[in-house]
Chain A
Amino acid sequence: MLTYIAHRLLTLIPMVIVISFLIYLGLELTPGDAVSHMIPPDAYGSMDPDRLQELRESLGLGQPFFVRYWIWISGVVQGDFGYSLAGGVPIADIFLDRLPATLELSFAALLISTILGSILGTISALTRGSATDQGLTVVGMLGVSIPEFFFGLVAILVFAINLDWLPVGGRTLPGYDSFWDRLPNLVMPALVLSIMMTAGVMRYARSSMLDALSRDFIRTARSKGMPEWRVNILHGFRVALTPVIVLIGFRLPVLIGGSVIIEQVFQWPGIGKEFVSAVRSQDYPLVMMVALFSVLAVLIASLIVDLLTAIIDPRVRLGE
């Protein structure tokens, strides 16, 4: 197991290198460069081209593409993420400041969608064809097809403005720092962010559960004279779980993508919100780091999924 984890972590390195290169290349191909963003557009045209060139040289922009990539990536590896163009703040500081909020939101949404999705999917499968099942199917279709920001706006309108149960947005108020103080603020964005994933997990858990329940070992389990809940949960659900976990792993990018939008809707001070403003202000160093971070998050999550699968399903033997 440990050698497998080490092996997987090692294979992450080339993947991260390739992806970081693609990110860097992508931004290189966008029109303009750092200098054209540092100088206001109206001043840019009237400036002496030699001065601009001088500025580029002094910023290291005159060097060949690969050299610049190398300088950037070796800095990142050593923990030097560079500076935000917009405020001149070290990007590492922005991450330290904003990352906990994003992780909090994503984990909450992941937890909700995994638990709620599997439970609803199981109920749906066990009551197949009933009104409950059909109702859940309709809800699932709506959840998958209606965009999250719409749910977010409706939720704000209903629960924050009309009913006044929950705060409109934001994460903390000054002076209230504990998790329990923040909880009311977390509820709405986490629930809204989890809707799409919950619906997906539910649909998948339903079909996976139906598949498991139609297998021969369910009949064997029944023939032992065990109560129906044990047959369904211990034998059915346990077997149905493996594909569901794999699906959740695959859906993680959706969650990260969704958090960008949801953080915007709920004014949640996370990386996603930072990302949107960075793109708007063409703050390329920051955009690159956020993109790289998302990639790392997905890669590590898929490693965790593989490990979980091995724990749940004894037929999966890692690295042998």
Chain B
Amino acid sequence: MEHDVALTVKGLKTYFYNNNRCNRAIDGVSFEIRQGKTLCIVGESGCGKSVTAASIMQLLPTLSRIEEGEITYHGPDGPVRIDALDRGGAQMRSIRGKEIAMIFQDPMTALNPVYSIGFQIKEMLMYHTGLGRRARHDKAIDLLASMGIPLPERRVNDYPHLYSGGMRQRAMIAIAMSCNPRILIADEPTTALDVTIQAQIFELMETLKRDNGTAIMLITHDMGVVAELADDVAVMYMGNIVEAGPVGTVMRNPVHPYTRALLDSIPVLGRGKDQEIKAIPGQTPDPYDRPKGCQFADRCMHRIDKCDEMPPETQVSDDHRVMCWRYQEFASNGR
């Protein structure tokens, strides 16, 4: 069981420092990514999803750092403690891109406009493989072809502005997949794309996962995407994972009020336009002025006095955990 875990994150705390104030962007997050599985991290903007990804990649901005916790990459040569590595050091760089690759939210801006797509793929191959010039070029064409880019021999020399949005994201995935990474982190890869393109991109990621056994960490705020793609899901709120577990369990039996509220806020096809969509009341708290206890308490309709204290992570079942004082009541009343 243990050997098919690709990455373990334990008690991760990443803080941002700004004007002598500290934003506890991630405040004790634990999860693991399994080989060949998709872990979806869902949550509202600003909940720490992207910071989690940046922490794993050691790509945090200068004014932030990992304060506590462990990030362990279970590579072919045994476990590596990523959090202990130097950000720009050779060892981190050999993992970044080769072992753990990343694709970003907006393919329009994530590619460098002054270099051809081929150049940006070959650059990656140059640093992480021993391939020669010619071989790198052929490999770049192969990669584009496998991403479904038509006429890859010609498109490989094209610049990003000649690609459409969906094609750019495919090219980004081609870059990310070029060295057969064990883990692919996708930070809202389809937010900037059309819904039809979104489906194509996800299909592509599914294929890659199946064929290469890549572990995927997919960051999204779309519960529909979670239902579609995830094997495991972690719901984040204000720097904590408030509920996590296999997707079937969490979707069918959500026990955290925030997860339930998220699910209630999605319109369901077929229920007609009169269906009630429950928005979550209130706003996310100011990260510099957080509630003392449960971060969701102020917006929660099940709040009790005890919520002024931070609830511990509790196992609901073997693989389902939650951070809520009253989860048992929600678990028993079903859905």
Contacts and interface: CB of A to CB of B under 8 A. Distances in A.
Contacts of B57: 223
Interface string B85-111: 000100011111110011010100111
Interface of A is mostly: helix
Contacts of A300: none
B300 interface: no
A219 B57 CA distance: 11
Contact of A226 (B110, B114, B123, B172): B123
A224 B109 contact: no
B112 to A, nearest CB: 4
A130 to B, nearest CB: 12
Given A216-B106, A220-B104, A225 B114 contact: no
A8 interface: no
B175 A224 contact: yes
Contacts of B97: 223-226
B327 interface: no
B102 A239 contact: no
B123 A220 contact: no
B124 interface: yes
B109 A217 contact: yes
A228 interface: yes
Given A219-B104, A224-B123, A312 B110 contact: no
Contacts, number: 73
Contacts of A215: 109
A313 B114 CA distance: 6
Contact of B111 (A217, A222, A226, A228): A217
Contact of B96 (A217, A225, A238, A239): A225
B159 interface: yes
A195 B110 CA distance: 37
B114 A216 contact: no
Contacts of A220: 104, 110-112, 172, 175
A314 interface: yes
Interface string B143-166: 000000000000000010100000
Contacts of A314: 113-114, 116, 159, 161
Given A216-B104, A216-B106, A315-B161, A225 B98 contact: yes
Contacts of A216: 104, 106, 109-110
Contacts of A92: none
Interface in A45-63: none
A227 B126 CA distance: 12
Interface residues of B, number: 30
Contacts of A242: 114
Contacts of A108: none
Interface string A183-209: 000000000000000000000000000
A227 B94 CA distance: 10
Given A314-B159, A315-B159, A217 B112 contact: yes
A235 B62 CA distance: 19
A225 B59 contact: no
A228 to B, nearest CB: 5
Contacts of A227: 88, 93
Nearest to A241: B114
A227 B92 CA distance: 10
B128 interface: yes
A99 B47 CA distance: 66
B106 A225 contact: no
A247 interface: no
Interface string B191-224: 0000000000000000000000000000000000
Contacts of A238: 112, 114-115
A217 B159 contact: no
Contacts of A235: 112, 115
Contact of B59 (A219, A239, A315): A219
A224 B96 contact: yes
Contact of A217 (B98, B110, B116, B161): B110
B113 A219 contact: no
Nearest to A220: B110
A239 B159 CA distance: 14
B127 interface: yes
Closest 8 CB pairs of A and B: A225-B97, A225-B96, A216-B109, A225-B93, A217-B112, A224-B97, A314-B159, A223-B102
23 contacts: A215-B109, A217-B109, A219-B110, A220-B104, A220-B110, A220-B111, A221-B112, A223-B59, A223-B101, A224-B96, A224-B175, A225-B93, A225-B94, A225-B95, A225-B96, A225-B97, A226-B93, A226-B97, A314-B113, A314-B116, A314-B161, A315-B113, A315-B161
Given A216-B109, A226-B127, A227-B88, 20 more contacts: A216-B104, A217-B113, A219-B104, A219-B110, A221-B112, A222-B59, A222-B96, A223-B102, A224-B96, A224-B127, A225-B92, A225-B95, A225-B128, A226-B97, A235-B115, A312-B114, A313-B113, A314-B114, A314-B161, A315-B161
